[in-house]
Structure 1
């Protein structure tokens, strides 16, 4: 059975507007505080079919663009201890399915970080459509997911004197997406 599209969303291809889209992450540090950062979304296409089941999403992110507000930490994250950004700078997401879940949507897909691909689910909210001052038809989405960094080979850590580890395994990722309808 086909699931209808959210009200106001029309069929067609939408380019992710990388200048108005953010990918943010947070991870617990030393068990007491969160480190937050962003990574640039460099490309993506949302293809809206006649229904949710025939729709899809692809996106690319640039691991070398990480920004946490601390240049030393950013360099460490890009290093072989974490992301191997020099060798594997691009992260990929490709949806494998979309389904409705009450007032939200779940986008299942394959996420590749550090050259390792794992299945994930993004809890997604359609935030609406608008025509911008330049005549572009836009669609907005917010998505969240939580990953275990070790699933992507991100295993570096340090033991704390008080017990526990410096970096949590759980990483929360939030995406705010603005997409522009093609033609």
Structure 2
């Protein structure tokens, strides 16, 4: 199975992946973000607990990605800051424990791919589009891994996260590095 795109004269095979459910390899994947602090520098962080699944269908229309991120697993390298961000006046992880993503469209040509989807934080769902780069396939033991990088950004106020204006930037940049395990081989 491969994802194919066609222009007037040429068909390009970009992702030679067998159809099926590709499970996340959490040990070789990361969910990272960057946000401005005081408008003068950036704070970088990550979410340590997440799950994702890639379903490769017979066509792009029948292929999808889903992911759930545990917001309480935020790690910015400062335990006091992380505790404050989890609190009710900021992320409020008691009320909003997860962030979820569900793709709605995959498209691309050559090396330029996009994945449109819906991102839900708490009770707010908004569209988001990510630029995706396919890193390729590699074998580790008897299991093939598929690697991807996805980048994009969201505006936090659109999700009801408008706390600390002026202190924290409005735009949160997202960088996802994901490895998925070939169907039927994830437990090998």
Q: TM-score, normalised by structure 1?
A: 0.89
How far apart, CA to CA, are the structure 2 residues paired with 1:41 and 1:71? 16
After the TM superposition, list the runs of 4 or more consecutive aligned residues in structure 1 that deviate by more than 3 angstroms.
none
Structure 2 Cα separation of the partners of residues 81 and 153 of structure 1: 11
What number of residue pairs does the alignment pair up? Answer: 175
Unaligned runs of 5+ in 1: 159-164
Secondary structure at the aligned position of 1:75 is classed as helix
Residue by residue, what CA displacement relative to the aligned partner does 1:105-152 show, whole Å, maximum 9, x if unpaired? 11111101133111100110111011212x112111000011000011
Partners of 2:155 and 2:15 in 1: how far apart?
34
Counterparts of 1:101 and 1:75 in 2: how far apart (Å)? 43
Is contact 1:83-1:113 (8 Å) kept?
A: no
CA positional deviation for 1:43: 1.5
- Matching residue within 155, 163, 171 for 1:148: 155
1:12-161 to 2 correspondence within 5 Å? Answer: 12-133=20-141, 135-157=142-164
Q: CA deviation at 1:7?
A: 4.1
* Structure 2: segments with no counterpart, 5+ residues: 5-12
Calculate the aligned-residue CA RMSD, in Å: 1.7
2:143, 2:182 within 8 Å by CA — same for their partners in 1?
yes
User: What's the TM-score once normalised by structure 2's chain length?
Assistant: 0.87
